[in-house]
Chain A
């Protein structure tokens, strides 16, 4: 009896202790999750910012590609509203024009910097890591000042924020504090003394504002970038494969700084192919960014795959096996002759202009056929303007089965890698996505 009572009391104590502990846990969590709102300030006037600072901010914002996510199709620049599809639902980018109501007009410089580094809105709400603040933490203070000056001098647009559409319970923003506790540890960039100034400038821009690894690194289940050896081992962006940029790069010809510069600047390189899909807007920005910065980024990115074996591959030149491919996929060979050869066959007018042969195009070397299928169905939009590399879409003229035949032919003709599988299903999936509004 005594024993039982004691045991009962002990249990009671445990229960109380447990309740207190969980309360403390919730309290501690809310303590971490709670971020104060920062007071709204009168919208700064354009004349408050020196023009040099604004133009430096413009160059940095171009490298950061703010405009791509923060502008809806056909919408006002930086007014937000673009739908960003994530594995966790759809987010809508926000208005970052200096509109006091819908935009960031009431944001002080401090509020802006807190958003960029800690992912917290002026009103204290946590921001989703679709805004790559894990990268922006690396950006120097002075550069954030310049971007603030640039944004605060844009034309205002009064677009209010669109409501996100996320899976339960991710609409509850305090949860993001937990995500940040786990994954937000990046620090301001410090140059590596064993590398030269250009490499360090490139690393600063690529790891910070450029957030290249946001697409080119895989992400874990919580949507955070994998780091260490997995960094730059390839990822996914809007259904396109973002190829590995590290030693596991599938490029038929290894990337060197010069060819990367040409690619990033013009959207095409004669030894690697054209920028397509979400890389198009990146190139659009970099074609207008300061040339020295683009060179620096190229130098840094090329160094990531410097450890890739450069010994002669099995075949001395990239493969082009016409006869074998025609045997493996006769239907694909017929389609290629009628739909593709006019531009891509050796001796075609386009090929005599120094355009890359298909055997050097990375899309045909990837493990997954997605990029090749997307390029066939959707074409390639010239990223740098009308004179840039473009390819017409074939969605209207080729069926899924025909796209599959064609992709199989391309793979066997222009790559040494294993044949792709489930091509028709892949084509159907891409087509279905496209037909959605």
Chain B
């Protein structure tokens, strides 16, 4: 069966069993290897991507369910050369230890920043609660999210100053 996926703004027509998890298609067919297979049970969040702007576990999302919907992965936020805001913040805070959970963490955090311009600590913690880091760098991850919020405010302030 042909499934058309819209990933990071680009359309892809794929010959695929519609019950295949989106994660497998992203990694194996589209070679977008940011999202990771962690638990396969929707319990860890390493596979988090956005579907129509909302964070979802791609390991439990049948690819047939997301045909024609907007999918965004960590690769859509920036590249190694031009990293996005959260990517820069995670790098600055050295939030990754082994790095396996980070793509999911960043996508989870991005969903919050898209919805809430200036989240408070409680909002950040409640929102990030579904994602796990087995190395235990949660405190650095939280710092990175806070840094991204501050950076964005700084960027906005700079833009506002400009004539």
A338, B65: Cβ atoms closer than 8 Å? yes
Query: Which one of A337, A338, A394, A402 has the greatest number of beta carbons of chain B within 10 Å?
Result: A338
A335 and B65 contact, Cβ closer than 8 Å, known pairs A342-B60, A392-B60, A394-B60: yes
B42, A392: Cβ atoms closer than 8 Å? yes
Partner of A397 from the list B18, B19, B51, B130 (CB cut-off 8 Å) is: B51
Q: Is B43 in the interface zone, CB < 8 Å from A? A: yes
Q: Is B119 in the interface zone, CB < 8 Å from A? A: no
User: Which A residues are CB-close (under 8 A) to B20?
Assistant: 338
User: Which B residues are CB-close (under 8 A) to A349?
Assistant: 41
A397, B65: Cβ atoms closer than 8 Å? yes
B12-47 near A? 1/0 per residue, CB < 8 Å: 000000111100000000000000000011110000
Partner of B60 from the list A334, A338, A350, A390 (CB cut-off 8 Å) is: A338
A338, B51: Cβ atoms closer than 8 Å? no
In whole angstroms, how far apart are the Cα atoms of A394 and B21 in the complex? 13
In whole angstroms, how far apart are the Cα atoms of A176 and B20 in the complex? 58
User: Which A residues are CB-close (under 8 A) to B56?
Assistant: 396-397
User: Which B residues are CB-close (under 8 A) to A392?
Assistant: 41-43, 57, 60, 130
B41, A342: Cβ atoms closer than 8 Å? yes
B62, A339: Cβ atoms closer than 8 Å? yes
In whole angstroms, how far apart are the Cα atoms of A398 and B62 in the complex? 9
Q: Is A74 in the interface zone, CB < 8 Å from B? A: yes
Nearest A-chain residue to B57, judged by Cβ: A392
A388-407 near B? 1/0 per residue, CB < 8 Å: 00111011111100100000
A397 and B41 contact, Cβ closer than 8 Å, known pairs A338-B20, A338-B21, A338-B60: no
B43, A402: Cβ atoms closer than 8 Å? no
Report B144 CB to chain A, min CB distance, Å: 23
User: Which A residues are CB-close (under 8 A) to B130?
Assistant: 392
In whole angstroms, how far apart are the Cα atoms of A398 and B67 in the complex? 11
B66-80 near A? 1/0 per residue, CB < 8 Å: 100000000000000
In whole angstroms, how far apart are the Cα atoms of A343 and B61 in the complex? 13
Q: Is B64 in the interface zone, CB < 8 Å from A? A: yes
User: Which B residues are CB-close (under 8 A) to A397?
Assistant: 51, 56-57, 60-61, 65-66
User: Which A residues are CB-close (under 8 A) to B66?
Assistant: 397
Which residue numbers of A lie inside 8 Å of B, CB to CB? 74, 334-335, 337-339, 342-343, 349-350, 390-392, 394-399, 402
Given contacts A335-B65, A396-B54, A396-B55, 6 further A-B contacts (CB under 8 A): A334-B64, A335-B19, A335-B62, A338-B61, A397-B57, A398-B65
Closest 8 CB pairs of A and B: A338-B62, A392-B42, A337-B19, A396-B54, A396-B56, A338-B19, A397-B61, A397-B56
